[in-house]
Amino acid sequence: MQGVAQAGADGLLVTHLPNVYYLCGFTGSTGALLVESGRVTLFTDGRYAIQSREEVRHARVRVTRGSSLAAVGEYLRKGKKARMALDPAHLSVAEKSVLRRAAGRKMRWLARGGLVEELRAVKDAQEIVRMRSAARLGCIVFEEILPLVKPGVRELELAAEIEYRMRRRGAAGPAFDTIVASGTRAALPHARPTAKRLRKNELVVLDLGAILAHYCCDLTRTVYLGRAPARIRRWYQAVEEAKAAALEALRAGVAAGEVDAAARRVLRRSRLGQYFVHSTGHGLGLEVHEEPRLARGQRKLIRAGNVVTLEPGIYVEGVGGIRLEDDVAVFSDRNEVLTSAPRRFLEL
């Protein structure tokens, strides 16, 4: 990788499992990938001897009897490498200690974060095909559960039904803990579902994501149980317009912070800016939060191949919240909205 060479390192140790999968196809729960010039080696333990032979591509496999990190260190101690790069964000203090002890004092470890994540941020055609399918699955499930969103149903029951239906349709599981937040709890952006029962005349935020063929979707819609008052309708329209402004600003070559700013300008004009408490969106792929971040002041440029969420929202304590979220693939000459669930204001 170019970043490794620029750092003057002899190779890169990859320990974050989504990055390991991205580089060699391994899906086990334990493994470390050592990337050297002309050689890539996966270290894993005996539980994955058969699985690694079936899955791993473009790398040789070393099955260890103990710690994979200790095996990496011992391998490096015997070789002539002196400088290895790693991402310190993906190693615990204990893991670093094991690695350093096994590799010996002569090995110098260089902190180089985000090298694989930068590669993952740009999706190829096959990855976008998978993400279309994941988005389609999420939207189908959302429309399936709409008839169940009614007074008397518990938030936990709805969340369980969403995740059950995602799995029935082929998902490996939820991309994150499903959010069902009703009434005043809808003012909590990352509310966990509770035993609270939905009631008439309140907002309900539904935020769901599925993992299909290793790739994530992320979808949020907000509905109202009953006939919404004019104030809620105005708020919903403002959030819709903020998302539309972000979509219009989103294109290859634009700074990520500009997309966020476009959504904020709309909400400020509607005197709702103070209620928008998170970023406008984030990258999406093997993980539900990836690069780029569509947040204040982000100077990183949007690139063709990025897949991002657009999810402006407002959260008013004591009243509730409204968030709308779609997944968008960026191409050199256009954008493609991958999620197609109804965006109109639904009064159930």
Residue 206 burial (CB < 10 Å; 0-12/13-18/19+)?
Answer: buried
Q: How many CA atoms lie within 13 A of 84 on its CB side?
A: 26
| pLDDT for res 7 | 64
Reading the chain (348 residues) residue by residue, the pLDDT tens digits are 566 766 678 899 999 999 999 999 999 999 999 999 889 999 999 999 999 999 999 999 999 998 999 999 999 998 877 899 999 999 999 999 999 999 998 999 999 999 999 999 999 999 999 999 999 999 999 999 999 999 999 999 999 999 999 999 999 999 999 999 999 999 999 999 999 999 999 999 999 999 999 999 999 999 999 999 999 999 999 999 999 999 999 999 999 999 999 999 999 999 999 999 999 999 999 999 999 999 999 999 999 999 999 999 999 999 999 999 999 999 999 999 999 999 999 999
Fold match between domain 2-120 and domain 125-347: no
Are 32 and 13 within 8 A, CB to CB?
yes
The answer as to CATH 3.40.350.10 being correct for domain 2-120 is yes
The answer as to CATH 3.90.230.10 being correct for domain 125-347 is yes
| pLDDT for res 5 | 65
Domain ranges of the chain: 2-120, 125-347
Question: Which residues are registered as beta bridge partners of 86?
Answer: 13, 111
Buried b / exposed e across 128-163, counting CB within 10 Å, b at 16+? bebbbbbbbbbbbbbeebbeebeeebbbebbbebbb
Q: How many CA atoms lie within 13 A of 72 on its CB side?
A: 32
